[in-house]
Every structure is written in structure tokens, then in C-alpha cells.
Amino acid sequence: MQGRGLIEHNNIHGNALAGIQIRTSSDPIVRYNKIHHGQHGGIYVHEKGQGLIEENEVYANTLAGVWITTGSTPVLRRNRIHSGKQVGVYFYDNGHGRLEENDIFNHLYSGVQIRTGSNPIIRRNKIWGGQNGGVLVYNGGLGVLEQNEIFDNAMAGVWIKTDSNPTLRRNKIYDGRDGGVCIFNGGKGVLEENDIFRNAQAGVLISTQSHPVLRRNRIFDGLAAGVEITNNATATLEFNQIFNNRFGGLCLASGVQPILKGARFILCMSCGEQTAYGNRIFDNHNAVEKAVTSGQCLYKISSYTSFPMHDFYR
């Protein structure tokens, strides 16, 4: 499709290629359509395509629900993108644009993937039910994720991998069946003012030469550690609150030295609270320390995707 135009109230299904293709600076309005059961993707935006894509239902496509690539900058707003056999929305090779107030759920891969220089704005979406996580940022992906609810994903709520550097701000990341945010293989990123809670594994897991910045987050009610740092990774922690996590607030592998910024270190022996350079770490259950003391095997409390907890001390 080239040019402008209005595509509205159509039932687009069973196509061998994309249900709708927007390319070469085209800027249509795509509204109130059902785009489903395609043998390829639902909507393909490429070669600097634009477009306003709103209030569509995009579902049950063989490849991505929406592909955005090669300098394209569409706006996707208030769509339901679900039940796909791969990814919900896939940004790659400098795909940009805005993703706002969409429901993205029940994909066999991640709800959203961002890679290779892509830098979208992802704001006020609900992303859940991904079998490979909620949001995956990898291979030099960027992006700003703000005020999203990311929950009930089978793996990490947000993965940050392989030299990616997104910004996560004021999101709620919760009820994941693995970790909240997992940062691996040289991942970076800035996490600010997020609520990360009730995840089955670490609220934030940082590993393998990664170095994110965590600032003013609340990481709490986790079934494992609040923050785990392992395997030659490090992190900068500033003014976070880490509390009521089962394994401990801050679990560090041997030799890991995170950078703690802010006020001086204060330890309150009577109340069990520590303030480490502005980070408040309190009311954690310290199950790892208790298991070590009682001689229990720590393999029983390790994640499939995390490193064994016997590598850690508090």
C-alpha cells in the first residue's frame, strides 16, 4: 500500500502474505478491522511506512501480529493483539513508532520484541500471557517503556540482552512465572520508578557482563530474591526500596561489587533494616541464608533460567 487512505471495518483473514502492508512513507488510517488467521503476519510496516493503526483486533496470525522495520514510525493505539503463533508486535532493523494503550496477550513468543537499533515508545499497554516473556529487548535494541502493566508471563516480564539499552519507567511488572526483569549478556538499561512485585523468581536478575542502572524502584513481595547479581555482572543502585522478598533483598555472587549511590550506609540491627547508599532493604525473609545455616540443598530454590543460588551470599 502506498499513499494515504482509510481502511475501516473490514474482516481481513487467511492471506498468504501480510493482511495489510504499509510501506514507502505511506500514511493510512487503519481502524476497526479484524485481521486474523493469516499465513504470514497481520500488519507489515516497512521502508519508512507510517500510519495510524487503532482499535483493530489482530489475532491468530502465523507470524508476528504487527511487524515494524526499516525506519518506519506508525502509531498503534487501543488495539487488541493476541493469540499469535509468534510475537505480538516486532520492532527490528530501526523500526520505531509508538505503541499506546494496546492489549497484547497470549502469544507463543513474547508480547513485544525490540532489536537492532529499534527505538519505539511503548506506553500504557497491558502485556500478558507471553510464553517467552512479556517484552524482549536484544541485539542492540533500545526503546522507552513507560506506565505499562506487564504481568502473568511464562518467562521474564522484561528481558534485556546482548548490548541492548532500553529505559523502563513507572511500569508495573508482576505475577510473572519466572523473573520480573532479567538482564543478560552485556545488557544495560535504566530502570526508574517501577513497581516489580510477586514474581516467582528474582525481581531483577542481572548476569553475564551486564550493567544496568536501577533508580527509585520498588521491588517487593517476590518469591525469590529482590535483586540478584551474578556471573561478572554489576549494577548501579540508587534510592530503591527492596522489601518482603523470600530469599533476601540483595543477593550477590562472590566477587560482585555493585555501585551503590546516594546517602551513606546505615544498618539498624534492632529493626532489621539496612539503608545502603539510599537503597532501603528491609523485611526480607532471607530464606537462602537460613537454608545455608540449616544445611539444606540450595538446588531446590534455583530457577531454570537463573544461576544456582549456592553461588550467592548476602
Lowest mean pLDDT among 174-178, 201-205, 211-215, 263-267: 263-267
Q: Residue 184, class by beta-carbon neighbours within 10 Å (0-12 exposed, 13-18 middle, 19+ buried)?
A: buried
Judge contact between 74 and 22, C-beta under 8 A: yes
Mean pLDDT of the chain: 90
pLDDT of residue 9 exceeding 50? yes
Is 70 exceeded by the pLDDT of residue 272? no
- pLDDT exceeds 90 at position 132: yes
- Between 279 and 309, the more confident residue is 279
Predicted pLDDT of residue 234: 93
Distances in Å between the alpha carbon of 186 and those of 126, 183, 189, 282? 27, 8, 10, 29
> Under a CB-based contact definition with an 8 Å cutoff, are residues 258 and 236 in contact?
yes
What is the model's pTM? Answer: 0.91
Q: What pLDDT is recorded for position 3? A: 73
Name which residue leads in pLDDT, 256 or 48. 48
Q: What confidence tens digit (pLDDT) does each residue in 190-216 have?
A: 999 999 999 999 999 999 999 999 999
Is 298 a residue whose pLDDT tops 70? no
Burial of 305 (0-12, 13-18, 19+ CB in 10 A): middle
- List the domain boundaries for the chain: 1-99
Task: Say whether pLDDT at 294 is over 80.
Answer: no
> What is residue 307's predicted lDDT score, i.e. its pLDDT?
46
What pLDDT, in 10s, does the model give residues 151-171? 999 999 999 999 999 999 999
Q: Report yes or no: 226 and 198 within 8 Å, Cβ to Cβ.
A: no
Instruction: Name the amino acid, one letter, at 84.
Output: G
Report the alpha-carbon distance of residue 89 to residue 84 in Å, rounded: 10
What local confidence, expressed as pLDDT, does residue 255 receive?
80
Between 299 and 125, residue with greater pLDDT = 125
Confidence of residue 242 (pLDDT cuts 50, 70, 90): very high
Residue range 69-90: mean pLDDT, rounded = 99
